[in-house]
């Protein structure tokens, strides 16, 4: 091979050196780079899985938030309905009490008017009786029996009341 310009010892040493270099590069460089790439790939996959999980949790949280808002809305409507119902009951109670008080006031006014009328009627009878006795005394003289005269006036007033 010398004729071709190839030195066999040099060629073997270069083949051995190349093989050693390839083995060394494989062991020292290629394996760590592959391991590093595998680790990076695993981190990226984990990051993507975490992202998907976070998105899933965010979607669940959004659904929970919407559910809570809907519950709060329903609860608010329920409270408003109860307040409306309560206010209507209170208004009805107040109106009923006012009507009862009005009826009581009317009855009291009628009773007062009736008492006053009876009192005025009794006073009027007394006045009429006194006037009748006074007139009879002046017409007939002082010989009039006052008690008998009062009985006659009372009887007359009773008869007039029975007629009306």
Joined together, the tokens standing for residue 46 give: 């984990």
Region 14-42: mean pLDDT is 92
Query: How far apart are alpha carbons 157 and 160 in whole angstroms?
Result: 5
The domain ranges of the chain are 2-163
Region 11-21: mean pLDDT is 93
Which of 3-7, 68-72, 73-77, 79-83 is predicted least confidently? Answer: 3-7
On the 0-12 / 13-18 / 19+ scale of CB atoms within 10 A, 116 is: exposed
Q: In this structure, is the dihedral angle defined by the CA atoms of residues 8, 11, 17 and 22, taken in order, positive or negative?
A: negative
Joined together, the tokens standing for residue 153 give: 């006036």
pLDDT in the model for residue 52: 95
Confidence of residue 15 (pLDDT cuts 50, 70, 90): very high
What are the C-alpha distances in Å from 21 to residues 7, 9, 13, 86? Answer: 20, 18, 12, 93
Query: How far apart are alpha carbons 132 and 155 in whole angstroms?
Result: 13
Region 109-128: mean pLDDT is 87
Tens of pLDDT, residue by residue over 88-98, are: 999 999 999 99
Residues 81, 82, 84, 89, Cα dihedral to 10°: 140
Q: What one-character-per-residue DSSP string does 143-155 give?
A: T--HHHHHHHHHH
Whether 13 has a pLDDT exceeding 70, the answer reads yes
pLDDT in the model for residue 124: 82
Confidence of residue 2 (pLDDT cuts 50, 70, 90): low
Confidence of residue 156 (pLDDT cuts 50, 70, 90): confident
pLDDT in the model for residue 39: 95
Determine if residue 5 is left, alpha or beta; phi over 0 gives left, psi from -120 to 50 gives alpha, anything else beta. left
Tens of pLDDT, residue by residue over 56-73, are: 999 999 999 999 999 999
């Amino acid at each position: 091979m010398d004729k071709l310009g190839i030195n066999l010892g040099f060629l073997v040493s270069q083949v051995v050196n190349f093989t050693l270099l390839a083995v060394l590069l494989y062991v020292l460089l290629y394996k760590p780079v592959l391991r590093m790439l595998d680790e990076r790939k695993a981190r990226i996959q984990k990051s993507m899985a975490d992202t998907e999980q976070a998105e899933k949790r965010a979607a669940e949280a959004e659904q929970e938030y919407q559910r809570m808002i809907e519950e709060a809305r329903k609860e608010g409507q329920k409270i408003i309905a109860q307040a409306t119902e309560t206010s209507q009951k209170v208004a009805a109670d107040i109106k009923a009490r006012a009507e009862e008080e009005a009826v009581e006031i009317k009855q009291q006014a009628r009773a007062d008017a009736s008492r006053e009328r009876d009192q005025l009627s009794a006073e009027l009878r007394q006045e009429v009786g006194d006037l009748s006795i006074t007139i009879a005394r002046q017409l007939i003289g002082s010989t009039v029996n006052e008690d008998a005269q009062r009985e006659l006036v009372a009887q007359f007033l009773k008869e007039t009341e029975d007629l009306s």
